[in-house]
Structure 1
Amino acid sequence: MYQLHAQLRDFLRQGLSIHVGACDANGLPTLSRALAVQQRQGARLALLLPAMPGQPLIGAVAQTAQVACVFCQPSTHVAVQIKGRDARVESAQTADWPELAANHKDFTSEIGLFGFGPEFADAWFDGHGEDLQVISFLPTGAWNQTPGPGAGAPMELFA
């Protein structure tokens, strides 16, 4: 069974800004924010997102099973893109997501360095209970998206 590379696992535990993209069956792109990432058994990742603003994305993933995510740490601009081809949509319960509170807290600290207060982070993390959905997938590739000379370079995905 695969495991994500240790450096990538550690990075995904930071206070991250997470954006998820997909195209529907007609090739129309869509984007939404995710609230947290969960590392599941093996190397499978799960993204927690609010259903209402994420509905076009959720529909696109349900049609194509393809997803692309960008994880960015605001204080350093370190960013990683991860893609998957077997994505599926699942219901979510906040009790199953301790990562939500941790990412909310850490993201609040991250953006606080730039003068954004807790009220901004609270608005960003506005998903509630039954309004949450999960997109889970096995990563098929990872790329450095950090600005600079290494941007776009493939990253080691598995240990």
Structure 2
Amino acid sequence: MSSSRPPILDRAHAEFISGAVSINAASCRPGGFPALARGLGCRVAEDCNSVNVIFGVKAAADVLDGVRRSGALAVVFSEPSTHRTLQLKGDDALVLRLEPGDAALVDRYRDGFVGVLAPYGHTEEMVRALLACPVDELVMVRFTPTSAFSQTPGPHAGEPLAGAR
């Protein structure tokens, strides 16, 4: 997954999508039907060229099948308090095993998202149930973003990120 092209993401974008944001991903099922799943954490490579999103195997089965079939993946990262939203798309996605530290990343993500949603009346129990997944059922999808868009509601929604192809 190494690319000679400069990365689409900068460090600020990488920090944003690796934080306590809502993560939703989509791929395509046979027949062109969409498959959707919630991500359980994100890690961006140090050089910002690849993005790793963690999923539960059962909850994301259709998305993972779509990735295995086509390599295509779209992921939306949204901050609940501001609705700031970034969308990334890639066509070289691979389903991989977790790497050392990824299970702890999921725990940190879950803890952070509990805090993000608490002011809106979502209980800790509800958020933990939403993001629950046994460690042995976690997988990672790694992809190189080929396009990136601001999807924050407003007049610039849908515009490519600065520097994006």
TM-score (structure 2 length as normaliser): 0.87
SS in structure 1 opposite 2:128? Answer: helix
Partner of residue 5 from structure 1, selected from 6, 10, 13: 10
Cross-structure match for 1:29? 34
In structure 2, how many angstroms separate the alpha carbons of the residues matched to 1:90 and 1:6?
24
**Structure 2 alignment gaps of length 5 or more:** none
Does the alignment pair 1:113 with 2:107?
no
State whether residues 18 and 44 of structure 2, in contact with CA within 8 Å, keep that contact through their aligned partners in structure 1: no
Alignment CA distance shift 1:96-1:29 (3 Å) = same
Alignment CA distance shift 1:91-1:157 (3 Å) = farther
In structure 2, how many angstroms separate the alpha carbons of the residues matched to 1:124 and 1:56?
18
Give percent identity, aligned residues only: 27
Partner of residue 151 from structure 1, selected from 157, 160, 163: 157
Cross-structure match for 2:81? 75
Alignment CA distance shift 1:123-1:9 (3 Å) = same
- AA aligned to 1:118 is E
Residue 144 of structure 1 and its aligned partner are, at CA, apart by 0.7
State whether residues 17 and 73 of structure 1, in contact with CA within 8 Å, keep that contact through their aligned partners in structure 2: yes
**Structure 1 alignment gaps of length 5 or more:** none
Aligned length: 158
TM-score (structure 1 length as normaliser): 0.91
Residue 76 of structure 1 and its aligned partner are, at CA, apart by 1.0
SS in structure 2 opposite 1:14? Answer: coil
Alignment CA distance shift 1:123-1:94 (3 Å) = farther
Question: Per residue, is there more strand in 1 or in 2?
Answer: 1
